[in-house]
Amino acid sequence: MLSLYTSRTPKSRILFEENKNYMPYGVSSNYRYFDPYPIYLTKGKGSRVWDVDGNEYIDFNLGFGVLEVGHANERIIEEVDNAIKEGSILGFEYCKTGKLAKIISQRYKLDMVRFSSTGTEATMHAIRFARAYTKRKKIIKFEGHYHGSHDQLLVNVNPLKPGSKVPSSLGIPEEAIANTIVTDWNDIESFEKVANEDVAAVIMEPVAMNMGLIPTDEEFLKAVFELSKEKGFLVIFDETKTGGKFYSGALGYFNVKPDLVILGKAIAGGLPLSVIGGKREIMELIGPGKVAHGGTFNANPLSVRASIVTLTEILTESSFYYMHRLSEMLERGYREIAEDLGVELSVYRWGPSGSIYFSPKVPRNYKEFISIDFSPWFTYFYTTLAKGVIPMGGFNEEWTVSIKHTEEDIRKHLEAAEEGIRKAKEIKTNMPIDESF
């Protein structure tokens, strides 16, 4: 299947060979690399992107879930164009920051908010806020959940051998993760064992979206909230991804009130902006001489104005209805493909996003996820790329539908997916049987 990819992307190969001399793996983020070399894109418009070879793709990765407004959204372009004429960064506080803070506070039912630029920054600050409030050190995170690239939470994100605590990068000293506790998602028993009075907070993706897309056991979620109240630790929802999947994010979907919430990705229409929000008594600890929070590019005018437009004019409730409907068409189409081809394929969708697993059932946690044979997925992925569809960002990612996608885009996605799944089945069927046992 790689030959299909390499025959269509010779200029990406050339760029890779040149770029890797100056950037490790030729990219600016590890998550953009895949074998044998990454794809280099030149532009995007609506539901589509183009690479350096001129190939056009219907994009269901959308910047790893950022661009629900679509590429080069006309309203965002207009707003950013007007904003940049008045200065891209002003140093002191921008006059429209409070307006955006009010919009987000009301939409997500948060008492107060602070702005940063990325999800990594926001989760780093959020655990500091939790420690300051509780006067405790330990943070619980779940295996397979991703909360950015800072040392304290870059633990058991994608371990090859799940179970024991292990940093997800070289260069992270044991001391940096000494106060990080790792446990299993959707497992009440394992959570009860680590939830105690020494814990400052538990941080989670309220719907796991970095090991594919895994449904949340609502009884488990309820137990987490109950134990947090009993033991006195905080609940942090990392909604960097999930916050843009429903109008009021996962906290609105599950009708719960976490102590702290992180938002990012989709909320600023493609510009860098993240939010740490939560209960007033926690947020009011922030300030000079108290809890540190800063950042030169926090709430820059371009991101603030793009976010106001995104949340008030573009990602409206009717927009979510439209995206969910198209996403449901994808889910239904994948199920029909699996049935028609007679393959073991499970599908889970949540709002505008969904994942497929070449497995008879959707996994419940990382241990089940990592036990899946991923080789059919790569056959499917390179086939769909060759057919002009980016189905999702990786085997541990999910599709996302934007307001710019059409029913015709969905049909083409499913046509490409069917071809990829068929080829994956053929390869598996024709694999030689090892009789050495």
Q: Residue 422 burial by CB count (10 A; 0-12/13-18/19+): exposed, middle or buried?
A: middle
Q: In terms of domains, do 208 and 242 share one? A: yes
Q: Are residues 223 and 324 in the same domain?
A: no
What is 395-413 written as a DSSP string? Answer: TT--EE--TT--HHHHHHH
- Is 434 among the domain residues? no
Do both 236 and 345 map to the same domain? Answer: no
Q: Does 296 lie in the same domain as 235? A: yes
Range of the domain at 119: 74-314
Determine the average pLDDT of the residues in 53-72: 98
Q: Please identify, among 292, 314, 336, the residue that sits at the C-terminal boundary of a domain.
A: 314
Whether residue 403 sits in one domain with residue 267: no
The yes-or-no verdict on residue 434 having pLDDT over 50 is no
**pLDDT at residue number 267:** 97
| Per-chain mean pLDDT for the chain | 96
Tens digits of per-residue pLDDT, 128-139? 999 999 999 999
> Range with the lowest mean pLDDT among 263-267, 386-390, 411-415, 426-430?
426-430
User: For residue 19, is pLDDT > 50?
Assistant: yes
pLDDT at 431: 56
Question: Where a domain ends, among 280, 314, 348?
Answer: 314
Asked if residue 209 belongs to a domain, the reply is: yes
pTM: 0.95
CA-based max dimension of the chain: 72
Residues 150 and 107 in one domain: yes
pLDDT at 394 > cutoff 60: yes
Domain at 282, CATH number: 3.40.640.10
Span 71-83, average pLDDT: 98
Are 150 and 61 in a shared domain?
no
CA distances from 405 to 15, 73, 267 (A): 29, 12, 18
- The two tokens of residue 306 are 């793009």
DSSP per residue, 123-190: HHHHHHHHHHHHT--EEEEETT----SSGGG-BSSS-SSTTS--BSSTT--GGGGTTEEEE-TT-HHH
- Percent above pLDDT 90 for the chain: 95
Q: Do residues 172 and 216 both lie within one domain?
A: yes
Residue linked to tokens 């987490």 = 224
Mean pLDDT of 160-187: 95
pLDDT value at residue 288 = 96
The pLDDT value given to residue 181: 97
Q: For residue range 233-280, what is the model confidence (pLDDT) as tens digits?
A: 999 999 999 999 999 999 999 999 999 999 999 999 999 999 999 999
- Is pLDDT above 50 for 409? yes
Q: What is the pLDDT of residue 432?
A: 45
Of 425, 423, 347, residue with least CA distance to 5: 423
351 domain-assigned: yes
Calculate mean pLDDT across residues 365-378.
96
**270 domain residue, yes or no:** yes
Domain boundary among 283, 314, 345: 314
- The per-residue pLDDT for 49 is 98
Q: List, edge to edge, every strand of the sheet that includes 399-400.
A: 346-350, 353-357, 399-400
Q: Which pLDDT score, from 0 to 100, does residue 71 have?
A: 98
Q: What does the pLDDT read at residue 270?
A: 96
- Percent of the chain exceeding pLDDT 70 equals 98
The Cα 266–Cα 292 span in angstroms is 26
| pLDDT tens per residue across span 317-356 | 999 999 999 999 999 999 999 999 999 999 999 999 999 9
* pLDDT of res. 433: 37
Rounded to whole angstroms, how far apart are CA atoms 183 and 193?
9
- In this structure, are 166 and 296 located in the same domain? yes
Let me know if residue 437 belongs to a domain.
no
pLDDT at residue number 259: 98
Q: What is the mean pLDDT of the segment spanning 108-112?
A: 98
Under 8 Å between Cβ of 194 and 140:
yes
Question: So what's the pLDDT on residue 69?
Answer: 98
Instruction: Clarify whether residues 415 and 394 are in a common domain.
Output: yes
- Which tokens hold the place of 88? 């891209």
Residue 163: its pLDDT value, please? 86
Q: Which residues contact 418 (CB under 8 A, 6 or more apart)?
A: 337, 340, 341
Q: Cβ neighbours of residue 313 under 8 Å, at least 6 residues apart?
A: 75
Q: Does any domain span residue 122?
A: yes
Q: Are residues 223 and 297 in the same domain?
A: yes
Look at residue 32 and tell me if it is in a domain.
yes
- The verdict on 89 and 166 lying in the same domain is yes
Give the residue numbers annotated as catalytic, written as ranges: 146, 238, 265
Q: How many structural domains are present in the chain?
A: 2
The answer to whether residue 201 is domain-embedded is: yes
| pLDDT exceeds cutoff 50 at 403 | yes
| Backbone φ/ψ region at 220: left (φ over 0), alpha (ψ -120 to 50), beta | alpha
Which residue is associated with the tokens 């979206």?
A: 209
Tell me the one-letter amino acid at 312: T
Q: Residue 3: its pLDDT value, please? A: 85
Domain harbouring 31, CATH code: 3.90.1150.10
Burial readout 277-302 (b: 16 or more C-beta within 10 A, e: otherwise):
bbbeebbeebeeeebebeeebbbbbb
Task: Say what the pLDDT of residue 164 is.
Answer: 87
Render the burial of 74-86: b for 16+ CB within 10 Å, e for the rest: eebeebbeebeee
